Copies of this chain bind each other. A is one copy, B any other.
């Protein structure tokens, strides 16, 4: 199950601008996870949500949990510079997403793999309250919640199995400049797993027993980093769900699938790359990565 934002993204780079394409954490995660396992989407859109975008979701995801509300869909407008490294937010319009409180459909109450993308910690906690006995819950957050709702976020962290964070978020949350030490500090809050997403530099998985550092899949052409983190999570959880276990071995493979799916994500704008991607291409890149990093 995949809970989070669904929006219309306008993304501007020096090379191209796309206007109101389908975006949002739940969208990226869900489309990626759907390659690996059946995925149900829980989110909200306005009645202005374009039909063509809806079809993209319908074809790939169970939409029992999708609420259509009277009003405008969440919109996000941002800009990247030449190196596609730093994003500047131009406009965030929460619209119907602003007052939304996630309601988990009865049929998902037994969901085993639960991803809670970046929404407020209160809403994230409400999701946890509605699921019975999940095998693995994974949550994401952003700087905004670390700064403004640290207590609620800490409660969330103590209740999920896995937090997915970038290095800056680890530093802020742990209040230590070293991310390795920082991740260990966050593990002490309760979760069994911490994943640090480092963009082009890969990701590091932490459990109480191991550290698994990985490098990013090297890419010569990057069009748009939007959604890469949620796509990472989609590959990570997707692989765990299809394998049906969370052994150390499967967790390691899952982090690599996360890197692989993140690398596909940034090759094209928005979810574009996934509309033509095949499972064969995914497995082939996984194997190529494995050969590439072996020594």
Which A residues are within 8 Å of any B CB, using their own CB?
82-85, 171, 177-178, 180-181, 184, 198, 201-202, 204, 210-216, 218-222, 249, 252-253, 255-256, 290, 292-295
Given contacts A201-B198, A253-B295, A290-B295, contact A180 B218 (CB under 8 A): yes
- Please state the number of chain copies in the assembly: 2
Chain B residues with Cβ below 8 Å from A181 are 220-221
B295 touches A252 (CB 8 A): yes
Q: List 14 A-B contacts (CB under 8 A).
A: A84-B177, A178-B219, A181-B220, A201-B202, A204-B215, A210-B292, A211-B218, A212-B293, A212-B295, A213-B293, A214-B293, A215-B215, A252-B294, A255-B295
| A282 vs chain B, min Cβ distance (A) | 16
Chain B residues with Cβ below 8 Å from A178 are 219-222
A211's contact among B82, B252, B292, by CB below 8 Å, is which?
A: B292
For A198, give the chain B residue with the smallest CB separation: B201
A213 touches B218 (CB 8 A): yes
For A14, give the chain B residue with the smallest CB separation: B177
B213 touches A215 (CB 8 A): yes
Q: In the docked arrangement, what's the CA distance between A45 and B200, Å?
A: 41
Q: Which of A184, A198, A220, A290 has the most CB of B within 10 A?
A: A220
For A295, give the chain B residue with the smallest CB separation: B252
Known A84-B177, A180-B219, A212-B292; 11 more pairs at CB < 8 Å: A82-B177, A85-B177, A184-B220, A201-B201, A201-B215, A202-B215, A210-B292, A211-B218, A213-B292, A255-B295, A256-B295
Q: In the docked arrangement, what's the CA distance between A190 and B212, Å?
A: 36
Q: In the docked arrangement, what's the CA distance between A180 and B210, Å?
A: 30
| A49 vs chain B, min Cβ distance (A) | 34
B213 touches A213 (CB 8 A): no
A220 touches B180 (CB 8 A): yes
Q: In the docked arrangement, what's the CA distance between A258 and B85, Å?
A: 27
Chain B residues with Cβ below 8 Å from A212 are 292-293, 295
Chain B residues with Cβ below 8 Å from A202 are 201, 213, 215
